[in-house]
Amino acid sequence: MLDRDDNIRIVLVNSAHPGNIGGAARAMKNMGLSQLYLVAPREYPAPRAVWRSAGARDVLANAVVVGSVEEAVAECGLVIGTSARDRRIPWPLINPRQCGERIWVESASHPTAILFGREDRGLTNEELQQCHYHVNIPSNPDYSSLNLATAVQVLAYEVRMASLQRDDGSLPSLGSWDQPLATSEELEHFHSHVASSLAGMEFYDPDNPKQLLTRLRRLFNRSRMDRMEVSILRGVLATLDQKIAQLKAANTRAK
């Protein structure tokens, strides 16, 4: 197993076919990974999952079943989502090689996750918006649909290759930092606070936000904020909330 295995999660979202879960477990063990998270699987546990897993039954036995993507990535400092098509609002896009390298390097300091969507329609826009990056596997455009377990195999292979680039299994550091990166859960609280504060100052209509919140989410996710930065910005928002409440109370009294 990889030394950093505990910090590398493979997350399957709402999988329909238990055989694909077993196939993904086998692909993971082939590449030295074991942290499998299942978000609301449609059929699990199931004998077909065990049969397809072959010698990776231990990966299945230790799989964590949760009800939402938020639960699966709550402690993660890096989340990468698989996406097979262009989106209306482009997101930072990396290739499988870059995905493997980033996951391997960052797993040295915090939990990371790669999200795989449903067999028939992938990840939703809302789920993809919880990711720092999207990764696309450049398959044959004439036949681009990949089996779920195959997609897991491709990206798990890239993580494995990244781990082997040096004899000691390490890569050059992406740079030291004085604060740990904000987790996915902390960022979700921050985004909710942004939406609430902007609505409180009537900057936008909550019933018709258009693309405002999505574009702000993309901006902040792209910056890879650390915990101190998130704390500072939430402090700014809290002060704004307080000032707005005071102004509204003063206006009410004046009437």
What is the rounded CA–CA span in Å between residue 190 and residue 185? 9
What does pTM read for this prediction? 0.88
Token look-up 């921050």 returns 190
62-90 pLDDT per residue, tens: 999 999 999 999 999 999 999 977 777 88
Domains and CATH numbers, the chain: 5-163 (3.40.1280.10), 184-254 (1.10.8.590)
Whether residue 38 has pLDDT greater than 50: yes
Q: How far apart are CA 30 and CA 27, in angstroms?
A: 5
CA distance 250 to 120: 55
The alpha carbon of 17 is separated from its chain's Cα centroid by a whole number of angstroms, namely 22
> What would the mean pLDDT of 135-143 be, rounded to a whole number?
92
Cβ atoms of 99 and 114 within 8 Å: the answer is yes
Lowest mean pLDDT among 119-123, 124-128, 172-176, 215-219: 172-176
Residue (of 224, 219, 217, 220) closest to 181 by Cα position: 224
On the 0-12 / 13-18 / 19+ scale of CB atoms within 10 A, 21 is: buried
| pLDDT score for 200 | 95
Q: How far apart are CA 235 and CA 237, in angstroms?
A: 5
Reduced 3-state DSSP string for 1-36? CCCCHHHEEEEEECCCCHHHHHHHHHHHHHCCCCEE
Tell me the pLDDT band of 1, cut-offs 50, 70 and 90. Answer: very low
The terminus-to-terminus CA distance of the chain in angstroms comes to: 69
Mean pLDDT value of segment 35-56: 97
Q: What is the mean pLDDT of the chain?
A: 93
Query: 241-248 contacts: CB < 8 A, separation 24 or more?
Result: 241/196, 241/197, 241/200, 244/200, 244/201, 245/200
Query: Could you give the CA distance from residue 66 to residue 73 in angstroms, rounded to a whole number?
Result: 10
| Token pair in block for residue 191 | 């985004």
Mean pLDDT, residues 44-66: 96
